[in-house]
Amino acid sequence: MIIAARRLLTRVDRAADGLAGDLALYAVSAVFALVTALTSTLLPHRGWGAIAVWAYLAAAVVVTAQLVARRRPGFVAQGGRAPLTWLAWAGVALLPLIVEAVQRAGGRTDRAQEEVLVVEEMGRRLLGSGTPYLGRDAIAALPEGERLLGYAPYQPGMAVFGLPRAAVGAAWWTDARVWFAVVTAAALITAVALLRHADPAARVRATQFATVLPICALTLATGGDDLPVLALCLLALACCATGRFGAAGLAVGAAAATKLFALPVAAVLVVFALVTRNGRRLLPGAVGLPLLALLPALLVDGDALAENVLRFPLGHGLVHSPAQSPFPGQLIAAGLPGGRYLAAALLGAAGLTIAVLLLRRPPRTAATAALFCGYGLLAAILLMPTTRFGYLLYPLALLAWAPALRKYSATTAPRDDAALYRV
């Protein structure tokens, strides 16, 4: 059944040389952007939708023209899909980001999500005190309405994105989102270039799921902090697929030094590297960079680090996280007696199951590693007591990335791999 469903999905995805899927993606995304512009209660999101809807519509018109031209002899659909993807990304993500950053620098206070403010404050604290975190007592001393923004639930490396504004002051180009976008673009362009020999259709679809998919474009333009983490993880997978394990370690290590969501990806890649006898090349970056980032904050104020990175995300801070999307874990935590402990137990059971699978049937190809990462993060996001819809960009992009890695994995895939792990 799984194989039959996969084949059906592949046929649908490849219909009209992939153009049918492209048209559906851009058309549905245009509707999403329009609805966001008209109804969202978050003003930065409305600003994004008002610009992105036109870029999505323009991309849909171009794809329609490609579908018409496809009937002509000699037309090659794949030749135009990739450039359109990058142009569409510029219109649906980068342009709204820059417009909002310029408006914010001009004095508007409704043109950035709270994540941007938190990251920039991390940069200011890092320059001023040597740690990007406030301790529990310092947070408690803040006015009650400001305590939430006093928390910084990221790894210390995230503060780097706030340094330009802390060092130079308010300008559009010191907006943390601009630097999120710079790192994201550099990582994705490098990853796609490394996979230049992959199946073109798979590579285009993988790129779309990391760029023009509304959940990614909206996040980058309004908040942004998840996109460089995701892009670095995708780059690490591309490096592994092409035998560059040292570079892969640096990429996933940099991602893990900024956000905890990258740690499961790093763990999977460590197992993959050890199984394929590349551990010595990957481990220094994958393990060393996160530890190196933690060390200064740990030495300056270890309790502040624990308060922000551990207690607050686990629901033991002075205020509760606003990440309350109605996924199973959140519904269980909020709706059942002892629900928080039950949700934590389910999350732990899922993590243990994945760990057992990882050890008993470790990934031997980069494509299999991507599937492990995607399904593992999907399970975690669904079962976490505090989560949000935006986090789905991680598993969606990772799972879409796997087919683009297949060409590089075919010669090394073990014949007795379970069907679940194949692509």
pLDDT at 334: 77
Cα gap 274→381, rounded to integer Å: 27
* Higher-scoring residue by pLDDT: 310, 284: 284
- For residues 264-291, b (16+ Cβ closer than 10 Å) or e, as one string? bbbbbbbbbbeebebbebbbebbbebbe
Q: Residue 138 and residue 209: Cα distance in Å, rounded?
A: 40
- pLDDT 10s digits, 6-61: 566 667 777 778 899 999 999 999 999 999 999 999 999 999 999 999 999 999 99
Q: Distance between CA atoms of 391 and 381, rounded to whole angstroms?
A: 7
* pLDDT at res. 137: 93
- Higher pLDDT: 212 or 320? It is 212
pLDDT of residue 115: 93
Residue 403: its pLDDT value, please?
Answer: 94
DSSP class of residue 195 equals T
Average confidence (pLDDT) over 250-278: 96
**In the predicted model, is pLDDT for residue 414 greater than 70?**
no
Q: How far is CA 9 from the centre of its chain?
A: 23
Residue extents of the structural domains in the chain = 2-421
Report which residue type is found at 311. R
What average pLDDT score do residues 378-392 get? 86
Mean pLDDT value across the chain: 90
Q: List Cβ neighbours of 78 (8 Å cut-off, separation of 6 or more).
A: 17, 18, 200, 201, 204
Give me the mean pLDDT over the 246-266 stretch. Answer: 96
**Quick one: what percent of the chain has pLDDT higher than 90?**
72
pLDDT of 331 reads 82
The answer to whether residue 221 scores a pLDDT higher than 60 is: yes
**What is the predicted pLDDT for the residue at 253?**
98
pLDDT in tens, 306-357: 999 988 887 788 888 776 778 887 788 777 787 777 888 888 888 889 889 9
Confidence bin at 298 (pLDDT 50/70/90): very high
* Residue 239: pLDDT over 60: yes
pLDDT value of residue 417: 39
Q: Are 219 and 111 in contact (CB under 8 A)?
A: no
Give the pLDDT confidence of 81-126 residue by residue, as tens digits: 999 999 999 999 999 999 999 999 999 999 999 999 999 999 999 9
Specify the residue for token string 């007696």: 337
pLDDT at 177 over 50: yes
Q: What is the pLDDT of residue 96?
A: 98
Q: What is the structure's pLDDT at 423?
A: 36
